[in-house]
């Protein structure tokens, strides 16, 4: 294992981790590992996997959720490569690895970029792709260079721009021979993407050792990958598109289909005080069947025709240098998906209100369906800092695996967990008086905690409640720290700028970030040093009892008798809370306070899902006692 561990010393428990992984991959087993932040999971899992993988020619597929996590893997591969040659590359979507101005201008997402790229190549309208064929020797040379030098996608992009090659094709060329491919979860949990990936690289599942990093994200990511959504706006645009292209039969079909949906909306949702409702999947086609006198077989043939027309529309728009989206094609894809899962218990069919209109949603209920392929790989490793209880993760994701939990690295004297005994965000307790009381806790804590503080609420509704009593203004006036408020619909770029500005305040008087537990800033973000010295968790992030949440509880209850509500409702919220709490300690030496403003955390049913390090440091407090303990905690630090 020393050949692939590039650092001079091992951290506590790393050797045991490496040996465990080595043993698992050699035996063709799976393992679920919980190891704390700061443990060095990335380099440990690579050091454990690579000796066996390289000796027998297995391809290591390292899957992560965010680009930052993927770049971290490449950094470790660079370190390994200095000691022992290793080939590694990070895959990105065509949208992220493209130089063609048409795609940069008009393809709004990875899916559309894929469709457009396919058509541009077919029409021989991509000079960067054409250069791959024209300058084969030069292309091979640059691919071999990167094969010997693991590099982030931005480096591949820069070289490609300089030499006028397609960065996406270059990345795939490197990946053909690379020992390690780093990619998004979607490359394996989305069935169509997985099939394309395996086909392109001529891989069998048995050729793979798969690593899932930050695996606590998998249940939600799997549900999302298996679900689908279509808005009434898309249908209206599909009708308009059909008329423009003189596809009168399609326009007529979609108009009748839309009228049936409007009737269904009037009956089920329009004047009711709910935002979504389950529907019988066949009901969306009843009006079409009645008016046109067609049956399901004819419907399927017609939808396939719509798919072909959608492809033709995209090609035409590319020829005319217009945005390449086809609403006819998108509508047909959704309806084909909808029809394909009718009769399955692991799907819920929903109609929901959106922005004055409505949408149809195909909601997957069983995340394990996205991981059925795992039984055919050589070995799968699932790891995260937040998987307790491991048995529940194994159940929910349908994985037969060894289970291993490594102890938290935070030193006891570096952590304090304070739970307020007189507040809670339970629905019946929410009022202006509660929000004022919660605000007082937050303000007093923010005064004592040095530099930056994170405040994560159970929901946007709770965040808005705190803002309604002017928490943000009071913090700036009474505490003297700048406030940053996470916005629900902010773009990734807007949010990145917000977080960057918040972190910068740690170099001055400090800032306070107001966000949501389970949101993008309470998970996956790294706050080192003074960037988050304390975190205040306002409530426990239980989901609203919507039809989809209730359906998942029922589904899990049938699959795991007696555990449905726990697996479908309680446990996801407890994991989100622990993830947010973990923002404070990014290494064993970092010192920080966690304040939970909800007495329910003291209940035995919740405490059993908390990590040992939180339980060991937990104290029950009132406002005055919190102030006293925080002052003592930070005085000891000085």
User: Residue 500 contacts by C-beta under 8 Å, 6 or more apart in sequence?
Assistant: none
Q: Is the model's pLDDT at 107 over the cut of 90? A: no
Q: What is the pLDDT of residue 586?
A: 65
Q: Which residue has the higher pLDDT, 453 or 95?
A: 453
Q: What is the pLDDT of residue 273?
A: 86
479: number of Cβ within 10 Å: 21
Q: How far apart are CA 502 and CA 532, in angstroms?
A: 10
Q: Give residue 636's pLDDT band: very low, low, confident or very high (50, 70, 90).
A: low
What is the mean pLDDT of the segment spanning 243-261? 96
Q: Is the model's pLDDT at 96 over the cut of 90? A: no
pLDDT tens profile 130-170: 998 899 999 999 999 999 999 998 999 899 988 899 999 99
Q: What is the pLDDT of residue 69?
A: 87
Question: Out of 8-22, 369-383, 572-586, which region has the weakest mean confidence (pLDDT)?
Answer: 572-586
Q: What is the pLDDT of residue 344?
A: 95
Q: Is the model's pLDDT at 93 over the cut of 70? A: yes
Q: Give residue 247's pLDDT band: very low, low, confident or very high (50, 70, 90).
A: very high
Q: Is the model's pLDDT at 127 over the cut of 60? A: yes
Find the length of the chain.
Answer: 638
Q: What is the pLDDT of residue 492?
A: 78
Question: Out of 2-6, 138-142, 280-284, 456-460, which region has the weakest mean confidence (pLDDT)?
Answer: 2-6
User: Residue 475 contacts by C-beta under 8 Å, 6 or more apart in sequence?
Assistant: 442, 443, 446, 481, 483, 512
Q: What is the mean pLDDT of the chain?
A: 92
Q: How far apart are CA 254 and CA 328, in angstroms?
A: 9
pLDDT tens profile 498-525: 999 999 999 999 999 999 998 888 886 7
Q: Give residue 330's pLDDT band: very low, low, confident or very high (50, 70, 90).
A: very high
Q: What is the pLDDT of residue 193?
A: 87
b or e along 386-424 (b: 16 or more beta carbons within 10 Å of the residue's beta carbon)? bbbbbebbbbbbbbebbbbbbebbbeeebbbbbbbeebb
Q: How far apart are CA 100 and CA 120, in angstroms?
A: 10
Question: Out of 22-36, 206-220, 312-326, which region has the weakest mean confidence (pLDDT)?
Answer: 312-326
Q: Is the model's pLDDT at 112 over the cut of 90? A: no
Question: Out of 23-32, 65-74, 392-401, which region has the weakest mean confidence (pLDDT)?
Answer: 65-74
Q: Give residue 122's pLDDT band: very low, low, confident or very high (50, 70, 90).
A: confident
User: Residue 600 contacts by C-beta under 8 Å, 6 or more apart in sequence?
Assistant: 424, 426, 540, 606
Q: How far apart are CA 215 and CA 69, in angstroms?
A: 12
What is the mean pLDDT of the segment spanning 437-460? 96
Q: Is the model's pLDDT at 638 over the cut of 70? A: no
Q: Is the model's pLDDT at 480 over the cut of 90? A: yes
Q: What is the pLDDT of residue 588?
A: 66
Q: What is the pLDDT of residue 587?
A: 65
Q: Give residue 37's pLDDT band: very low, low, confident or very high (50, 70, 90).
A: confident
Q: What is the pLDDT of residue 466?
A: 97
What is the mean pLDDT of the segment spanning 234-247? 96
**Domains observed in the chain:** 2-223+368-405 (3.40.50.300), 228-364 (1.10.275.40), 412-637 (3.40.50.300)
pLDDT tens profile 426-435: 988 899 999 9
């Amino acid at each position: 294992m020393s050949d692939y561990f590039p650092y001079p010393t091992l951290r506590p428990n790393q050797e045991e981790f490496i040996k465990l992984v080595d043993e698992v991959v050699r035996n063709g087993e799976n393992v679920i590992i919980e190891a704390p932040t700061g443990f060095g999971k990335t380099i440990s899992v690579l050091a454990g996997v690579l000796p066996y993988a390289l000796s027998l020619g297995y391809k290591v597929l390292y899957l992560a959720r965010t680009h930052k996590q993927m770049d971290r893997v490449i950094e470790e591969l660079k370190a390994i490569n200095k000691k022992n040659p290793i080939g590694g590359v990070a895959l990105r979507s065509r949208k992220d690895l493209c130089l063609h101005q048409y795609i940069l201008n008009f393809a709004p997402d990875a899916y559309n970029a894929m469709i457009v790229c396919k058509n541009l190549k077919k029409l021989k309208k991509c000079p960067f792709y054409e250069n791959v064929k024209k300058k084969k020797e030069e292309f091979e040379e640059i691919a071999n260079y990167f094969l010997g030098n693991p590099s982030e996608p931005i480096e591949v992009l820069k070289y490609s721009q300089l030499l006028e090659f397609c960065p996406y094709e270059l990345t795939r060329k490197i990946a053909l021979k690379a020992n390690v491919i780093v990619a998004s979860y979607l490359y394996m949990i989305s069935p169509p993407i997985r099939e394309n990936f395996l086909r392109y690289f001529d891989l069998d599942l048995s050729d793979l050792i798969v690593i899932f990093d930050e695996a606590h994200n998998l249940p939600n990511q799997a549900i999302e990958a298996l679900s689908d959504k279509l808005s009434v706006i898309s249908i209206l645009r599909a009708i308009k598109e059909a008329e423009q292209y003189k596809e009168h039969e399609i326009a007529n079909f979609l108009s009748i289909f839309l009228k049936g949906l409007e009737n269904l909306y009037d009956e089920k949702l329009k004047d009711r005080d709910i935002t979504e409702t389950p529907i019988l999947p066949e009901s969306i086609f009843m009006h079409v069947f009645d008016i046109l006198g067609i049956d399901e077989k004819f419907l399927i043939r017609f939808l396939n025709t719509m798919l072909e027309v959608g492809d033709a529309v995209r090609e035409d728009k590319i020829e005319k240098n217009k945005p390449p989206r086809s609403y006819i094609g998108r509508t047909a894809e959704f309806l084909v998906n909808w029809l394909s899962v009718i009769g399955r218990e692991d799907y819920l069919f929903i109609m929901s209100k959106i922005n004055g209109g409505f949408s149809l949603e195909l909601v997957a209920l069983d995340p394990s369906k996205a991981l059925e392929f795992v039984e055919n790989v050589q070995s799968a490793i699932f790891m995260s800092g937040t998987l307790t209880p491991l048995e529940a993760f194994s159940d929910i994701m349908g994985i037969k695996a060894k289970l291993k939990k490594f102890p938290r690295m935070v030193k006891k004297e570096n952590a304090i967990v304070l739970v307020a005994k007189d507040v809670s965000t339970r629905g019946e307790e929410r009022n202006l008086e509660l929000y004022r009381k919660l605000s007082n806790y937050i303000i007093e804590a923010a005064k004592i905690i040095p530099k930056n503080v994170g405040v994560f609420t159970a929901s946007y509704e709770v965040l808005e409640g705190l803002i309604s009593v002017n928490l943000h203004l009071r913090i700036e006036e009474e505490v003297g720290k700048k406030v940053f408020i996470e916005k629900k619909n902010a773009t990734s770029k807007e949010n990145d700028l917000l977080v960057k500005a918040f972190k910068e305040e740690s170099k001055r008087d400090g800032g306070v970030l107001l966000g949501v537990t389970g949101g993008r800033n309470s998970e996956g973000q790294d706050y080192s040093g003074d960037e988050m010295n304390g975190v205040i968790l306002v409530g426990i992030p239980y989901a609203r009892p919507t039809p989809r949440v209730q359906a998942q509880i029922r589904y899990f209850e049938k699959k795991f008798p007696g555990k449905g509500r726990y697996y479908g409702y309680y446990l996801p919220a407890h994991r989100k809370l622990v993830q947010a709490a973990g923002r404070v300690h990014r290494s064993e030496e970092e010192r920080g306070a966690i304040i939970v403003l909800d007495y329910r955390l003291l209940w035995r049913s919740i405490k059993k899902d908390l990590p040992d390090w939180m339980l060991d440091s937990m104290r029950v407090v009132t406002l005055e006692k919190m102030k006293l303990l925080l002052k003592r905690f930070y005085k000891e630090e000085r």
